[in-house]
Structure 1
Amino acid sequence: MRLIKSTIHPAINDLSANSFTRKATRAIVLNGENILLLYTKRYHDYSLPGGGIDEGESKIEGLIRELKEETGAHNVTNIREFGLYEEYRPWYKADFDIVHMLSYCFVCDIDDELLEPELEMHELDNGMHPEWVNIHQAIAHNEQTIASSDKKGMSIERETYLLKLIEQELL
């Protein structure tokens, strides 16, 4: 899979610090200029559906599971690689200083009808829900959040970069 981008968070000065790797998938589902995204009220941002790959699970199995859990999408077909986004980010829990985040991005198709999502409690607490959004509006929204919000999460830069690349390469 092609490497889209590799980033190191500005708060990290030493990559030899105690770290772990987290592998995740991200789904790119388009319908014209509309894209299936997750809106998170807590961070006031849009992100691609996806999440951590479970132990013993392939990237594709993780993609399909996460897409179903977060959006209710089913009958995932025509899966193709888009690229890998690599990040080194601070980790704020005991045992590690850095998380090496690998986000494997795939383009895919789904059935038109979304079933009920199976969101985790912390996702519900953060006000997360799936939404079809015009990609240009999602990019503008995230850029506004980056520029003016103190609520933004660490992933918004990745998500906005990916949305712009999707816009450039797939529309």
Structure 2
Amino acid sequence: MQNLKTHYHPELKDLEHKSMFTRLATRSIATQGTNILLLYTERYEDYSLPGGGLDIGEDKIEGMMRELTEETGAKSIRNIQPFGIYEEYRPWYKSDYDVQHMISYCYTCDIDKELGNSNLESYEKKNGMKAVWIDIHEAIKHNKKTMATSEKKGMSIERETFLLELIVTNMKC
């Protein structure tokens, strides 16, 4: 799969002498015209692609389908194609490591427009996460405003906005 970008969080000046762990994750890209299925998170005031960490030994496609179903209630996931890899290095907030190296495997897919029930984790519910179909251009505009003005923004908004802009370019949304 093609590497789309390697991002270094601005707080990381170098990686030498840093303890690091790698987390493998997936991201799902489901579009219908210019609408895209995203997760809106109230806590961070942002839109993000459905996805999350792979379980140890889990197949990437199976993990992508699991995360998409859990977070959005997506039905009839089909036509799965690789889109690319987004790699990032970010500070880790626990004392066991200094840096998290996250590798996100992104896939396009088709799903039914009607969503079933999601099965969000407790922290996702607490953060006000919900699945929404939204015009991709509106989502990008919203995320850029959050990046420029919000104190609440999370570390993933740059990744998500980059990917959304790339989706518009590559898929001609």
Per the shorter chain, which TM-score range? over 0.9
CA offsets, 1:145-169, max 9 Å, x none? 0000000000000000000000011
For 1:129, what is the secondary structure of its paired residue? strand
Partner residue, 1:105: 106
2:91 and 2:169 mapped to 1: Cα distance? 30
2:136 and 2:57 mapped to 1: Cα distance? 33
Partner residue, 1:61: 62
CA shift for structure 1 position 74: 2.0
Partner residue, 1:2: 2
For residue 76 of structure 2, what is the amino acid of its counterpart? N
Partner residue, 1:155: 156
Unaligned runs of 5+ in 1: none
CA offsets, 1:83-130, max 9 Å, x none? 000000000102100000001000001122211000000000000000
CA shift for structure 1 position 13: 2.2
Runs of 4+ in 1 over 4 A off after TM superposition: none
Partner residue, 1:117: 118
For residue 4 of structure 1, what is the amino acid of its counterpart? L
Partner residue, 1:50: 51
For 2:63, what is the secondary structure of its paired residue? helix
For 1:60, what is the secondary structure of its paired residue? helix
2:124 and 2:168 mapped to 1: Cα distance? 27
1:38 and 1:131 mapped to 2: Cα distance? 6
1:13 and 1:164 mapped to 2: Cα distance? 26
For residue 151 of structure 1, what is the amino acid of its counterpart? K
CA offsets, 1:32-74, max 9 Å, x none? 0000000000000000000001112110000000000000002
2:69 and 2:3 mapped to 1: Cα distance? 26
Partner residue, 2:85: 84
1:87 and 1:144 mapped to 2: Cα distance? 22
Question: Which residues in structure 2 correspond to 1:17-56 (within 5 Å)?
Answer: 17-56=18-57
Question: What TM-score, normalized by structure 2, do the two folds share?
Answer: 0.97
Identity %: 60
1:140 and 1:14 mapped to 2: Cα distance? 32
For 1:29, what is the secondary structure of its paired residue? strand
1:14 and 1:30 mapped to 2: Cα distance? 37
For residue 23 of structure 1, what is the amino acid of its counterpart? L
Across the two proteins, how many residue pairs are aligned to each other?
171
CA shift for structure 1 position 14: 2.7
Partner residue, 1:139: 140
CA-based RMSD = 0.7
Unaligned runs of 5+ in 2: none
